[in-house]
Amino acid sequence: MEKGWLNQYLASGLSYIQVELPETIPAKKSAACGIDVGLNRLATLSTGEGYENQAFLKTALKQLRQANKRLHRRTRGSKNREKARRQVARLHYRITCLRDDVLHKLTSQLANAYGIIGIEDLNLKGLLKNRRLARSFSDAALGKLLQLLTSKGESQGARIVKVGRFFPSSKTCHGCGWKWEEMQLSDRLFLCQNATCAYHHVAQDRDLNASLNILNETLRLINTLDQAVGGTGSDAT
């Protein structure tokens, strides 16, 4: 039984599917997939699936703040303070377990389904320096997601390809390569301005477009590496 919900998004064909749906990704080990990760959506696949960012820390933030207030009100060294400290620790542990469960389920699905997986080489340390978004990036655990995906994919014999961190996956039309230089983070739809492109003025979901660009770049890199060094190189495994 599917526990999640499915919703078609505009003309892009993007589907939002919760990670509790192991049957949503077909087992096609020879298939290739580009994956865009982010805060609004944990992962968007070039095949059209989108996985929600469950934001467990954000959801439990009110409980954590209340628990921390109770902790600081208790007298140091008292039994009540120790009880309050354990309550805070339990909340943090629960958040970690829920997040890890989601990440392990999702990465296992992907590693089992695809023979070629393209991901971005994100500057995670740089992202965490953004004070406004640091908590959200930490909550999403994008670094752990990519780490698990890489290790599980390699153990399943998949080729994991990292596209360059400066590759403009979000600002480029996957259909023709036209660049939207002025695109902002707040722009959730990509509108190609190339009149000769099949996607001219077609509302494309930003993350789906990015994942398709990652797939295209992944296949290009693999082709280049295979021609140059027989399929081995620093960007593909």
Per-residue pLDDT of the chain (237 residues), as tens digits, is 233 333 333 333 444 334 444 444 555 566 999 999 988 888 999 999 998 887 777 777 777 788 778 888 888 888 888 888 888 888 888 888 888 888 999 999 999 999 999 999 887 676 666 666 666 666 567 888 999 999 999 999 999 999 998 999 999 999 999 999 999 988 999 999 999 999 999 999 999 999 999 999 999 999 998 888 754 444 555
CA distances from 53 to 60, 151, 186, 211 (A): 14, 21, 17, 16
235 is catalytic: no
Check if the beta carbon of residue 49 is closer than 8 Å to that of residue 207: no
Backbone φ and ψ for 37, nearest 5 degrees, come out as -110, 155
* Active-site annotation holder among 120, 139, 205, 235: 120
Q: Is 165 left (phi over 0), alpha (psi -120 to 50) or beta?
A: alpha
Which DSSP symbol is given to 123? -
Residue (of 149, 156, 86, 146) closest to 121 by Cα position: 146
Residue (of 31, 50, 36) closest to 211 by Cα position: 36
The span from the CA of 4 to the CA of 16, in Å, is: 9
207 is catalytic: yes
* Active-site annotation holder among 49, 139, 205, 207: 207
